[in-house]
């Protein structure tokens, strides 16, 4: 049995310290239920990374969603993508007919700047936050392929231009290559405008069995893995092997290849992350990600737009809510409801969410979802 996305919803994305998590969740859930045209669900699969125990239940009870199974997931940045992956399989197995997926995160309640690394890991003891991890990804990439810093900056320029067309995005202004490169250095070679911002937001999607509604979007495939042990056996930058293996699983299930996909939403927490993701997902050969963005291939109007939503670099990164935000963009695009950022003729979308942060493995987890087809 297939599973379909009936409806999606999100709150606004931004630093919203005065808005409690339940209020953000209300915005996303009400929109998703209305979009799905349903008034009841069989279960809730929720995701949060830094939320307190019971975060989902506190949010759901304000809408009268009680008395159903509520499962909470945590898988770093891939948290709500993981919730959707599991909800899909719960529907396909016949366990439930309709599942509400929820992602919720109030980052400003916990952080003023970069996420504090786990002190029990070697990186945490060394004070190596994620900007430093991705800077090392860039360093390794440069060793393997060379690195055009204009291309790194071009990722931020592209995604900020896309984000300027997204009224829900945290950052809605366009920037130039010169402005990106001149912004404050955070972790060489990554400047401030090449790093995503923390954000407060909630996202939601209703997943269900086929019902014959032409607005429903089929989930053609979803794949999830955690990273292998991270040691001398891999020559690739951190995260590359994990993304490539999960993408291969998803493509095989969907019966398609990367070149048959019309648009991608990928995990661009840092500019180098989009470049390695586009290579790992098969849009170009290893080392070709920089030229891919410089050529316009991944820009709106190009052959395969990447992050038409603006990505994390524009939308912001509320960890537990990010995956479903990517899913929402894919659904809007395939329905032709994306407004000024619409990808013309979009029929198939791919979403990739990479979760990192645990020392010793090649990423906490990665989810790739194929929509449509």
In terms of Cβ atoms closer than 10 Å to its own Cβ (0-12, 13-18, 19+), residue 326 is buried
Alpha carbon distance 5, 31 (integer Å)? 14
Which residues, other chains included, contact 184 with Cβ-Cβ below 8 Å and sequence gap of 6+?
Answer: 191, 192
Percent pLDDT > 70 in the chain is 99
Tokens of 39: 């008034």
295 pLDDT band (50/70/90 cuts)?
very high
Report the pLDDT value the prediction gives residue 373, as an integer from 0 to 100: 84
Count of domains in the chain?
Answer: 2
Which residues, other chains included, contact 33 with Cβ-Cβ below 8 Å and sequence gap of 6+?
Answer: 7, 9, 39, 41, 100, 204, 206
- Tell me, yes or no, whether 168 and 132 share the same domain: yes
Q: How many other C-beta atoms are found inside a 10 Å radius of the C-beta of residue 245?
A: 17
176 pLDDT band (50/70/90 cuts)?
very high
Residue of 125 and 41 predicted with greater confidence: 41
What sign does the dihedral 88-270-294-301 (CA atoms) show?
A: positive
- Tell me, yes or no, whether 328 and 297 share the same domain: yes
Least confident piece of the model among 113-127, 151-165, 173-187, 192-206: 113-127
35-to-8, 10, 99, 160 alpha-carbon distances in Å: 6, 11, 14, 27
Whether 117 is covered by a domain: the verdict is: no
287 pLDDT band (50/70/90 cuts)?
very high
Residue of 172 and 186 predicted with greater confidence: 186
Alpha carbon distance 45, 27 (integer Å)? 17
Q: How many other C-beta atoms are found inside a 10 Å radius of the C-beta of residue 164?
A: 18
- Tell me, yes or no, whether 19 and 70 share the same domain: yes
Mean predicted confidence (pLDDT) in 164-172: 95
Mean predicted confidence (pLDDT) in 196-213: 96
Q: Which residues of 278-297 are buried (b: 16+ CB within 10 A; e: fewer)?
A: bbbbbbbeeebbbebbbeeb
Alpha carbon distance 7, 36 (integer Å)? 4
* pLDDT tops 70 at residue 360: yes
91 pLDDT band (50/70/90 cuts)?
very high
Q: How many other C-beta atoms are found inside a 10 Å radius of the C-beta of residue 74?
A: 18
Q: Which residues of 225-235 are buried (b: 16+ CB within 10 A; e: fewer)?
A: bbbeebeeebe
289 pLDDT band (50/70/90 cuts)?
very high
Whether 339 is covered by a domain: the verdict is: yes
- Tell me, yes or no, whether 173 and 290 share the same domain: yes
243 pLDDT band (50/70/90 cuts)?
very high
User: Residue 361 is part of a domain; what is its CATH number?
Assistant: 3.40.47.10
* pLDDT tops 90 at residue 183: yes
275 pLDDT band (50/70/90 cuts)?
very high
Report the pLDDT value the prediction gives residue 211, as an integer from 0 to 100: 97
Alpha carbon distance 334, 176 (integer Å)? 30
- Tell me, yes or no, whether 87 and 54 share the same domain: yes
112 pLDDT band (50/70/90 cuts)?
low
* pLDDT tops 90 at residue 111: no
- Tell me, yes or no, whether 192 and 235 share the same domain: yes
- Tell me, yes or no, whether 256 and 336 share the same domain: yes
Instruction: Look at residues 184, 216, 248 and tell me which one is the last residue of a structural domain.
Output: 216
Percent pLDDT > 90 in the chain is 85
Report the pLDDT value the prediction gives residue 120, as an integer from 0 to 100: 80
Least confident piece of the model among 77-81, 232-236, 243-247, 328-332: 232-236
Alpha carbon distance 339, 168 (integer Å)? 12
- Tell me, yes or no, whether 338 and 322 share the same domain: yes
Whether 115 is covered by a domain: the verdict is: no
Cis omega (within 30 of 0) on the bond before 189? yes
Q: Is the pTM of this model over 0.85?
A: yes
| R_g of the chain computed on alpha carbons | 19
Alpha carbon distance 283, 225 (integer Å)? 20
Q: Which positions are catalytic?
A: 77, 317
Whether 27 is covered by a domain: the verdict is: yes
- Tell me, yes or no, whether 132 and 207 share the same domain: no
Whether 351 is covered by a domain: the verdict is: yes
- Tell me, yes or no, whether 105 and 236 share the same domain: no
Report the pLDDT value the prediction gives residue 172, as an integer from 0 to 100: 87
Tokens of 27: 């915005």
363 pLDDT band (50/70/90 cuts)?
confident
Whether 116 is covered by a domain: the verdict is: no
Is the distance from CB of 21 to CB of 226 less than 8 angstroms?
Answer: no
- Tell me, yes or no, whether 132 and 85 share the same domain: no
358 pLDDT band (50/70/90 cuts)?
confident
- Tell me, yes or no, whether 19 and 91 share the same domain: yes
Chain mean pLDDT for the chain? 94
Whether 190 is covered by a domain: the verdict is: yes
Q: Give the domain extent around 228.
A: 122-196+220-372
* Per-residue H/E/C for 265-291: ECCCCEHHHHHHHHHHCCCCCCCCHHH
Whether 234 is covered by a domain: the verdict is: yes
Beta bridge partners of 361: 229
Mean predicted confidence (pLDDT) in 247-263: 98
């Amino acid at each position: 049995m297939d599973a379909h996305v009936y409806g999606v919803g999100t709150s606004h994305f931004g630093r919203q310290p005065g808005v409690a998590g339940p209020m953000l969740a209300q915005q996303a859930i009400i929109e998703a239920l209305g979009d799905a045209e349903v008034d009841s669900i069989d279960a809730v699969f929720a995701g949060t990374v830094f939320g307190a125990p019971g975060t989902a239940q506190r949010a759901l009870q304000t809408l009268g969603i009680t008395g159903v199974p509520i499962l909470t997931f945590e898988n770093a940045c891939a948290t709500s993508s993981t919730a959707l992956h599991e909800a899909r399989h719960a529907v396909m197995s016949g366990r439930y007919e309709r599942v509400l997926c929820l992602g919720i995160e109030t980052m400003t309640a916990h952080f003023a700047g970069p996420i504090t690394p786990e002190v029990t890991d070697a990186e945490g003891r060394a004070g190596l936050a994620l900007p430093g991890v991705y800077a090392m990804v860039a360093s390794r990439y440069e060793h393997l392929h060379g690195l055009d810093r204009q291309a790194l900056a071009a990722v931020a320029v592209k995604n900020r231009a896309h984000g300027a067309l997204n009224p829900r995005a945290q950052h809605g202004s366009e920037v130039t290559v010169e402005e990106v490169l001149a912004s404050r250095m955070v972790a060489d070679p990554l400047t401030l405008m090449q790093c995503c911002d923390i954000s407060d937001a909630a996202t939601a999607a209703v997943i269900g069995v086929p019902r014959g509604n032409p607005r429903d979007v089929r989930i053609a495939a979803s794949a999830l893995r955690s990273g292998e042990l991270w040691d001398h056996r891999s020559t690739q930058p951190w995260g590359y092997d994990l993304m490539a293996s999960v993408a291969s699983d998803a493509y095989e299930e969907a019966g398609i290849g990367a070149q048959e996909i019309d648009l991608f939403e990928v995990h661009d927490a840092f500019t180098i992350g989009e470049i390695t993701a586009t290579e790992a997902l098969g849009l170009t050969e290893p080392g070709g990600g920089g030229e891919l963005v410089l050529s316009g291939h991944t820009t709106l109007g190009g052959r395969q737009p990447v992050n038409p939503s603006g990505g994390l670099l524009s939308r912001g990164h509320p960890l537990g809510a990010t995956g479903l935000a990517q899913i929402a963009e894919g659904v809007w695009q395939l329905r032709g409801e994306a407004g000024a950022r619409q990808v013309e003729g979009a029929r198939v979308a791919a979403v990739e969410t990479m979760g990192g942060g645990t020392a010793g493995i090649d990423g906490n987890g990665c989810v790739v979802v194929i929509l449509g087809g």
